[in-house]
Structure 1
Amino acid sequence: MNILLVDDEPLELEQLEYLIQKKFSTCKFFKALDASQALQIVKQHDIFLAFLDIQLPGKSGLDLAAELSRSYTMDIIMVTAFQNFEYAQTSIRLGVVDYITKPVIEEELMEILAKYQRLSRYSEQIIKALQIIQQEYNEKLTLNYLASKIHINSAYLSRKFQEEVGMGFSEYLNDFRLQVAQKMLVDHPELSISTISERCGFNSQHYFSQMFRKTIGQSPRDYRLKETFR
């Protein structure tokens, strides 16, 4: 797994790399002092996770995050010495996955990294495939499309997916969509079941409800009622 660290303070880069290496000793790290260096690295390497300092010389970390989000597939975490609510809001709008402040506290960093620990045992191809699924789950994803995005044969991807993830592509995609739907049912009570079904990438509300009941053990409506009044 390739990790990009961007900060104009070399000591901050070294400290962040040291802390992350404790959890991901086999990861490859790329470090940049500004947005220009970062963009050159991203053009040459498949970056899975990026830590961007907001206060960079020239182009800011937020501007860099916006550019990376438009053109590349990676998870972005913003880092800043300023506890500024406006920065946090902007980061969220850009779709970054998290936001931490300096000095970086090891426990907080470990909490953020915990969700990536499972990925450290996967090959780069499967990591890339999972990342695309998690970002484009609401689209009409197919195995052929996924294989073309990471430039490998679809039959080979299908076999690798089963071997490493322990389930097939379609099963994983449906499971992930259902996880998103569960959260959406509770967090957005104003949305209809049909709208949630569509936003999660299911072809029809009937199929969504059928899969939801089979996997979760109750209908989407019953699940929403139960979780809302818990």
Structure 2
Amino acid sequence: MNDNEFHRHECLQVSMSKTDSTVAFKNRSISLPANNALVIAYNIEHKLIESEWVNVLVDNECEVGRLLIELMGSNEYVVIADHEIIEKLFEDPERELSRMNDVIRDEIKRAILLIKDHDHNCKLEGIAKEVGLSSDRFRKVFKEEVGITFKNYLRWQKLRRAFHLLTVSPETKLVDIAHQSGFSDQAHMTKIIRETFGYNPKNIKNNL
């Protein structure tokens, strides 16, 4: 796939390439040695120059995110050659992230199931009421238990579904993928994907 566009995330990014690579920031570029991990702070504009990248996005509020922020200090990015957390993330990112948030209150487990039942199109107030918590309490507990805000959780679930559909049904029209993923329309999905990953979903679809 061609280079992506300059973009930023509301989360941390951990990237690794099997070859020597280059990452561009707004005011400079850096060289990344092969098999070294680059951790980029949230809301830092960057662009991955064409290479075979493996990327893991980590919410800065979850436990893994807090550990990575400790590793980074006040830097906008840091290159890490060897660290246990990085190794585990690239071995099995979903298992490592879920392991650090594996004890979840019953109300939040029910909320997650309700969100899935609503196809990720739901309001915080409605879900809070169904699990027996006030909106303010639910908002606080959800972030504590899941590691990210309710709003960001919904967005990530929509993005995950969109990428799943892009992968398993590349022949499906983007407008249909947008609606099936819970986005209001194709333009909204395109905007969120470009802001989050720096790629147009049409380019992603054409490269599958």
Tell me the TM-score normalised to structure 1 length: 0.45
Which is richer in helix? 1
The alignment's TM-score, normalised by the length of structure 2, stands at 0.50
Q: RCO (CA 8 Å, sep 6+): is it higher in 1 or 2? A: 2
Larger gyration radius, structure 1 or structure 2: 1
